[in-house]
Amino acid sequence: MEEKSWSYAQHSKPFKYQEGNLTVTRGSAWSGPGCHLGCGVLLYTDENGKLVKVEGDPENPYNDGRLCVRCLNVNEVTNHKDRLLYPMKRDPKDRGKDKWERISWDEAYDIIVEKFNKIKDEFGAETILFTQGTGRDIAQWISRLAWSFGSPNYCYHLSGAACYLPRVAGMAVTTGGYWVADCSQQFIDRYDNPQYQVPETMFVWGNYPLTSNSDGFYGHWVIDLMKRGMKIVCIDPKVTWLAARAEEHLRVRPGTDAALALGMLNIIINEELYDKEFVEKWTHGFDQLKERVQEYPVEKVAEITWVPAEKIRNAAHILAKSKPATMQWGLAVDMTKESLPASQAIAALFYITGNADIPGGIIMPPELLPYSGGFGHDLLSPEQAEKRIGLKDYPIFQYGFQIAQPDAVQKALETDDPYKIHAGWFQTTNPIACVAAQPKRWAEAVKKLDFVVFVDIFMTPSIMEVADIVLPAATFPERDGLRVGDGVQRGEVINKVTQIGECKSDMQINLELGKRFNPAAWPWENVQAMFSDILKPTGFSFQELQEKAPAYMPFTYKRYEKGLFRPDGQPGFNTGTGKIELYSTFYEMVGLDPLPYFEEPSPGPGATPELLEEYPLVLTTGARIWSMFHSEHRQIERNRAFRPDPEIEVNPDTLKKLGIKDGDWVWVENERGRAKRRVKGTPVIDPRMCSCDHAWWRPEAGPENLYDVLDLNINNLVPWIPGKSGFGSNFKTMLCKLYKVKEGE
Ligand code: SF4
């Protein structure tokens, strides 16, 4: 790419400068800790190289100087006394015990290389699993490590890959890409850009962006746009701050979003409120969709969803009338078992109303660099690629998706089917506290492995329970890195400003280990050279981008008319039919229903009414905490002060019936298990349901109690049952009962 086509933020100072006796370094934030949004930060270090303060960068158009507490408090995390500081090993017979021995990096690498190569020679490279969590910018590096080693089994260990990927997958196969809300994030001059138009209405669907700031979407853009006149419609079972200010609030029963969207489609299609010209010219399968939505008349949908018919009608009319309308959605869609048809139905609302690729509608940001979803899959031989776990049961994973299917991986760990897994590489993940459903099952399965390596920034219950080697990773102020993708096509860098103990960045660890396994696949001398090489198509070296970032690509709307979405340069979309597929030829090919549908979450009030007597409440889990990111931050005093204990939100009327008081400790229980929570009585929750936060453990409880993780983890109640496609899982749609914790429990 020609450098002249980029736009840059105007910086009044170089990326590193002095302020009194402090050095200030401009850069971008990427977990850990925190999240992987990439807000612009100013990192302040003292004369000893200690990180002493973090501020938002007012010259960064993305967050405009604003930061949430997770970034404002990064210095406390980076400098925390409990950081892992050097590599450690433990005899596998001592798994679960605090019996670690300090070793050097060389010894750690030697052990890993020897063990992995021995397993590869005896059983095949595919018997080593490479798995990551959501954070720390490592998808590209861990996947390359797996593929260059010869293992096709790279994944994140979350049932149904039920975070972000179902929505990405669902949109990619039906439209050729992933659509996000147009909040002007693609323009350096943001809301003032002459091409941009403020949306008339934003549908905030199944997430609370002000706390989650998920997947490239900075939550306060919603407020910025509301200040500029945008209205919102909230689809959320809870009365949130945003819901209280919404034009319409649909308090949907968890897990019924697909039915709601199909009901709204029914109204928009039957009342002929859709964009006829767009539908005619640019979509495929409208007649079949029209037929399908007849199964979802609004009265029936009202019964399913708990949302009154009048409100559904009103929301459909607001959408049809708003020019333009946009949508910000989230995990409630992914964390439903049949998440693909749910995302298909919701997205169809915005396609058929003509909101795709227009100012203030939904946009498809082009990939800044081709590496963001992983690079190096071609390093795998075709024979090895075919051994990827889950391909047989979930054929959709063969096309464009390079991860092993997580539920099939769990099954392989437990039953050795299709083959026995012998070792595991776990990087940026704490499954026993966070991603793993039924965490005890996960731990027992992983303990069967011959050899387990973890990479993390703190000791975690997962490491304590199952690891043989642990490598200390850097927090983002301790490392260099690149930040691209996720809803905004801009180039950002992460800049190293400090060093703690012997910690290394994830990329450095993967590069150094990759060189030992397969030097030809890792030819770079250091991480900066690796980044510069990856940046080549942009015309920047890593060092140049440090000075100039953030750098923005040019952007135009209606790219489907200009042939910019298809590799052949023809107008249209990058799908089999060249159109947005309301009827998916791709789903048809892999044996899935080509049209969106709703299936009752099971167990649930609709699917298993007989269970309601024992488990009368609908349970939704995973409510985000402002000061914490998944299982992180539990040992950080200032962040923990915002939420000292795990919580369950319950309506006061429900509490009264159960004889439970606000602040009591309760067990939340279903047929699979139970977890402890402190009760927060609040009318924002419907009396028929309750809502929990997730990923809890207590570092202060000590390793002998496994940091209380098995008492506190709400995933004790979650099954390993994905949707038919292999995407989606019921994290947010279960039944449960509540009862008081007895003294001593
Ligand atoms: S959203 Fe918050 S934690 Fe995430 S990068 Fe921005 S300030 Fe940091």
Residue 540 has pLDDT above 90, yes or no: no
Tell me phi and psi for residue 174, to 5 degrees: -100, -15
How far is 737 from 739, CA to CA, in rounded Å? 7
Query: Which two three-digit tokens encode residue 259?
Result: 């039915």
Q: Which of 42, 62, 64, 70 to mutate to test the pocket of ligand 1 (most atoms within 8 A of CB)?
A: 70
Ligand 1 near 70 CB (within 6 A): yes
With cut-offs at 50, 70 and 90, classify the pLDDT of residue 538.
confident
With cut-offs at 50, 70 and 90, classify the pLDDT of residue 3.
very low
Residue 492 has pLDDT above 60, yes or no: yes
Q: What is the pLDDT of residues 306-348, one digit of tens each?
A: 999 999 999 999 999 999 999 999 999 999 999 999 999 999 9
Q: Is the dihedral of CA 727, 732, 734, 740 positive or negative?
A: positive
DSSP secondary structure of 358-422: STTSEE-PPPSSTTTT-S-GGGS-HHHHTT-TTTTT-GGGGSS--SPPHHHHHHHHHH--SS---
Q: How many residues make up the chain in this entry?
A: 745
Residue 385 has pLDDT above 90, yes or no: yes
With cut-offs at 50, 70 and 90, classify the pLDDT of residue 487.
low
The crossing angle, in degrees rounded to 10, of helices 139-149 and 506-517 is 10
Reduced 3-state DSSP string for 507-568: HHHHHHHHHHHCHHHCCCCCHHHHHHHHHHHHCCCHHHHHHHCCEECCCCCCCCCCCCCCCC
* 248 touches 314 (CB < 8 A): yes
Residue 400 has pLDDT above 80, yes or no: no
SS3 676: strand
Residue 160 has pLDDT above 90, yes or no: yes
Q: In angstroms, what is the span from residue 41 Cα to ligand 1's centroid?
A: 9
Q: What are the residue ranges of helices labelled H in 88-131?
A: 105-123
Ligand 1 near 37 CB (within 6 A): yes
Q: What are the residue ranges of helices labelled H in 58-153?
A: 69-72, 74-78, 105-123, 139-149
- Residue 153 identity (one-letter amino acid): N
Residue 370 has pLDDT above 70, yes or no: no
Q: Tell me, rounded to whole angstroms, the distance of Cα 618 from its chain centroid.
A: 24
Q: In angstroms, what is the span from residue 74 Cα to ligand 1's centroid?
A: 10
| Across 674-690, average pLDDT | 98
Query: Which two three-digit tokens encode residue 45?
Result: 């270090």
Which helix H or strand E contains 653, and what residues bound it? helix 652-658
**Which single residue is written with the structure tokens 């007012």?**
58
Please enumerate in sequence order all residues whose Cβ is within 8 A of that of 442, keeping only pairs 6 or more positions apart, or say none. Answer: 157, 410, 431, 432, 436
Q: What is the pLDDT of residue 2?
A: 42
Q: What is the pLDDT of residue 136?
A: 74
Q: Which of 75, 213, 639 to mutate to test the pocket of ligand 1 (most atoms within 8 A of CB)?
A: 213
With cut-offs at 50, 70 and 90, classify the pLDDT of residue 399.
confident
Residue 48 has pLDDT above 50, yes or no: yes
Q: What is the pLDDT of residues 427-466, one digit of tens each?
A: 999 999 999 999 999 999 999 999 999 999 999 999 999 9
SS3 723: coil
Burial class (CB in 10 A: 0-12, 13-18, 19+), 280: exposed
How far is 535 from 347, CA to CA, in rounded Å? 33
Please enumerate in sequence order all residues whose Cβ is within 8 A of that of 99, keeping only pairs 6 or more positions apart, or say none. Answer: 90, 91
Tell me, what DSSP letter sits at residue 37? S
Q: What is the pLDDT of residues 415-427, one digit of tens each?
A: 999 999 999 999 9
Q: What is the pLDDT of residues 206-262, one digit of tens each?
A: 999 999 888 888 999 999 999 999 999 999 999 999 999 999 999 999 999 999 999
Residue 523 has pLDDT above 90, yes or no: yes
How far is 320 from 429, CA to CA, in rounded Å? 42
What is the residue-averaged pLDDT of the chain? 95
Whole-structure pTM value: 0.96
How far is 392 from 310, CA to CA, in rounded Å? 45
Q: Which of 36, 43, 68 to mutate to test the pocket of ligand 1 (most atoms within 8 A of CB)?
A: 68
With cut-offs at 50, 70 and 90, classify the pLDDT of residue 401.
confident
* 503 touches 458 (CB < 8 A): no
Residue 368 has pLDDT above 90, yes or no: no
Tell me, what DSSP letter sits at residue 230? -
Strands 180-181 and 362-363: antiparallel
Q: What stretches of 560-670 adopt beta strand conformation (E)?
A: 580-581, 617-623, 647-650, 665-669
b/e for 285-318, b at 16 or more Cβ within 10 A?
bbeebbebbeebebeebbebbbbebebbbbbbbb
% the chain with pLDDT above 90: 88
362 forms bridges with which residues in the sheet? 181, 356
% the chain with pLDDT above 70: 98
Nearest CA, atom 4, ligand 1: 35
SS3 271: coil
With cut-offs at 50, 70 and 90, classify the pLDDT of residue 200.
very high
Nearest CA, atom 6, ligand 1: 39
How far is 536 from 533, CA to CA, in rounded Å? 5
How far is 166 from 570, CA to CA, in rounded Å? 28
Ligand 1 near 77 CB (within 6 A): no
Calculate ∠ Cα 28-29-30, nearest 5°: 120
Four-point Cα dihedral 361, 364, 365, 371, nearest 10? 160
Ligand 1 near 453 CB (within 6 A): no
Q: What is the pLDDT of residues 607-653, one digit of tens each?
A: 999 999 999 999 999 999 999 999 999 999 999 999 999 999 999 99
Calculate ∠ Cα 330-332-333, nearest 5°: 80
